[in-house]
Structure 1
Amino acid sequence: MFRTAPRMAGFVFRENRVPYYQRLFQKNDGKRQWWKTPRSGYVMYPYLISVYGLGAATVYASCRMVLGHKTWY
């Protein structure tokens, strides 16, 4: 029963991608590891937007607090 579960999921006759990724990640092309795959942007752009967006919002709110512009009483 449990040995047939991976077969039903389609993992038995799947192409071995290890040599492809090994060549890709060991290539010295000047790119960081997290930007090397074609799908990296799907993960990196939302991450960068959230990190820099929240950082900018925090700095903005902190500056308003220091200058005395509180929005609550």
Structure 2
Amino acid sequence: MFRTAPRMAGFVFRENRVPYYQRLFQNHDGKRQWWKTSRSGYIMYPYLVTVYGLGAATTYAMCRMVFGKKTWFGDK
């Protein structure tokens, strides 16, 4: 029974994608490795927004503290 579970999942006669990805990642086209696939943007754009957004928010909060604004609400 357990030998047929991978077959039912469709893994036995699956296309071998290793040569395709090997050619893709060894191609010297000037792109970084993390931008090579067509699905890279789905991972990279949220990551970049998070990294640069948190960096900007942290810098903004640090500048507020340096100039004496220590609280966000109720500044009088």
Q: Map 1:1-73 onto structure 2 (within 5 A).
A: 1-71=1-71
TM-score (norm 1): 0.92
Higher relative contact order (CA 8 A, sep 6+): 1
AA at the equivalent of 1:61: A
Could you list the runs of 5+ residues in structure 1 that have no partner in the other structure? none
SS in 1 for 2:8: helix
Structure 1 residues 19-51: Cα deviation after superposition (integer angstroms, max 9, x where no partner): 100000000000000000000000000001100
- Distance in 2 (CA, whole Å) between partners of 1:22 and 1:71 is 53
- Tell me by how many angstroms 1:67 deviates: 0.6
Residues matched between the structures, number: 73
- Distance in 2 (CA, whole Å) between partners of 1:5 and 1:45 is 37
TM-score (norm 2): 0.88
Larger Rg: 2
